[in-house]
Structure 1
Amino acid sequence: MKILYIIPARGGSKGIPHKNIKPLNGKPLIYYTIDVARQLTSDENICVSSDDAEIIQAVEDYGLKVPFKRPDHLSTDTATTNDVLLHALNFYQSKGINYEVIILLQPTSPLRTVQHVREAMDLYDNKLDMVVSVKKSHAASVLCFENDNGYLEFCFNKSGSRRQDFSSYYEYNGAIYIINVERLKEKGLSSFTKKKKYVMDELTSFDIDIPLDLIIVESILKMKNSNLNV
């Protein structure tokens, strides 16, 4: 399979300004994802899609050529991942390069490893729309809403079962998406039905969204490095 690794990195993050290049344990956040992609393929198959000059410069300072600057209309809060992926595919297709699979690696998942991606890839075949990484969720057992009388009711756990006895539910963790290009072009991400899960644990599923996440993940990385040096 001819695989394109796409790392989306727009500059307009509101929770953490310039989040994708924020320092994390001594290097910009996006470098962790570039490091993973580089262990899986050559640089020519890695596409950082960004609208931001500072992010592009940081990536190129790391030795990875950014193939294009993402258009402004694909960098707003309302722009879809689907459109960003198709834009990248069309860029390469215009140069006579056609990919069969996209592996989307978001830079906000710095604890995702090469092994995780390889294990997810082992689950993929061209009959699927997508393999997506998830973590086990306990939200369904405790999720509530306020009823018309102002009292809380469980949304799903009507019987009040113990969490460990509740059915298994999963959350997308944002770390890995292995996407069938033909299906993406045919019907788009939102219409995918043949999706297979790849389960990651709670620790490696950390997604950087707010400043506290950076502090927690940096602590985890420092602990790992300390253990390696013992």
Structure 2
Amino acid sequence: MSSIAIITARGGSKRIPKKNIREFCGKPIIIYSIEAAIKSGVFDEIMVSTDSAEIADIAEQHGAKVPFLRSEKTSNDFATTADVIAEVLEAYKTRGQKYDYFACIYPTAPFVTASKLADAMGSLKEKLADALVSVVRYSFPPQRGFVIEEEWIKYQYPQYERTRSQDLEPIYHDCGQFYICSCEKFLNEHTLILPKTMPYIVDEEEVQDIDTISDWNIAEAKYTVLYQEDYRSKELDKKS
């Protein structure tokens, strides 16, 4: 069964300029996603969907393909990830290239690894699932959350006020790293969360939203701690 990795990397970024190619622990952040996809060995094609010639150039230098640039329609602030993926799959189809599965990998996901992608693809095929999404468990139970009404705090779900945290059902959220889907099922439904979507649970330590410079700094700190030895050896190689 054939598969394609699609790394979605739009050029514009208001809060963090050139976010998708900003240097992260020594190299442009998009390279982590490209390298993970290449090293996983589970993709027949690895491409970057972008509207930026600069991003396209960096992507191609590091082993990804950019056979076409995004259309104006999928480059604006209102285009969804599903819109971008659909455009890519249709463009490949017109070129006579069809795939059974695609992985959508975000370009600012340095904690995605080759082993995660390979493991996730294997799990999806083994379970005969329609799709897979990387998720992380909420660190605090949402069932114990507060709302503010007329300046006063109250439980959003008062029925859980006296329930022990360990007795509450775990709730997860998308960790913003990758999705894997059946191309056929996705094109029929135009959504990344299909009827038979399985979770790929990621540890909280390996998850970090990167929306602000502060988020970026936290992500670099986490990455340095988690992959400290590898990162330090690279820095020593540079200096020697």
- TM more than 0.5: yes
Q: 1:191 to 1:118 in 2, by over 3 A?
A: closer
Paired position in structure 1 for 2:122: 122
Partner Cα separation in structure 2 for residue 66 and residue 42 of structure 1 = 19
Paired position in structure 2 for 1:31: 31
1:5–1:105 CA contact under 8 A, matched in 2: yes
Match of 1:200 among 196, 202, 216: 202
1:101–1:180 CA contact under 8 A, matched in 2: yes
Q: 1:190 to 1:227 in 2, by over 3 A?
A: closer
1:140–1:156 CA contact under 8 A, matched in 2: no
Partner Cα separation in structure 2 for residue 139 and residue 25 of structure 1 = 33
Alignment of 1:82-101 (within 5 A): 82-101=82-101
Unaligned runs of 5+ in 1: none
**Percent of paired sites with the same residue:** 32
Alignment of 1:47-58 (within 5 A): 47-58=47-58
1:43–1:64 CA contact under 8 A, matched in 2: no
Partner Cα separation in structure 1 for residue 16 and residue 156 of structure 2 = 32
RMSD (Å) for aligned C-alpha atoms: 2.3
Partner Cα separation in structure 2 for residue 176 and residue 61 of structure 1 = 22
Partner Cα separation in structure 2 for residue 162 and residue 22 of structure 1 = 43
2:179–2:192 CA contact under 8 A, matched in 1: no
Unaligned runs of 5+ in 2: 234-240
The reply on whether 1:168 has 2:199 as its aligned counterpart is: no
Paired position in structure 2 for 1:14: 14
Q: Which amino acid aligns with 1:113?
A: T
1:100 deviates by 0.7
The reply on whether 1:209 has 2:203 as its aligned counterpart is: no
1:21 deviates by 0.3
1:191 deviates by 6.7
> Cα deviation per residue 1:71-103 (whole Å; 9 max; x = unaligned)?
121011110111111111111111111101011
Q: What TM-score comes out, normalization by structure 2 length?
A: 0.86
Partner Cα separation in structure 1 for residue 225 and residue 128 of structure 2 = 41
2:141–2:165 CA contact under 8 A, matched in 1: no
1:163 deviates by 3.1
Partner Cα separation in structure 1 for residue 198 and residue 42 of structure 2 = 26
2:5–2:45 CA contact under 8 A, matched in 1: yes
Paired position in structure 2 for 1:77: 77
The reply on whether 1:134 has 2:135 as its aligned counterpart is: yes
Partner Cα separation in structure 2 for residue 191 and residue 31 of structure 1 = 26
Greater shift, 26-35 or 220-229, is seen at 220-229
Partner Cα separation in structure 1 for residue 190 and residue 41 of structure 2 = 25
Partner Cα separation in structure 2 for residue 95 and residue 108 of structure 1 = 29
Q: Which amino acid aligns with 1:211?
A: I
Q: 1:127 to 1:197 in 2, by over 3 A?
A: same
Paired position in structure 1 for 2:183: 181
> Cα deviation per residue 1:107-158 (whole Å; 9 max; x = unaligned)?
12101211211221122138433111100012514432223x4322222363
1:201 deviates by 0.3
Partner Cα separation in structure 2 for residue 193 and residue 157 of structure 1 = 31
Report the count of equivalent residues: 229
Q: Which amino acid aligns with 2:112?
A: R
Q: What TM-score comes out, normalization by structure 1 length?
A: 0.89
1:52 deviates by 1.3
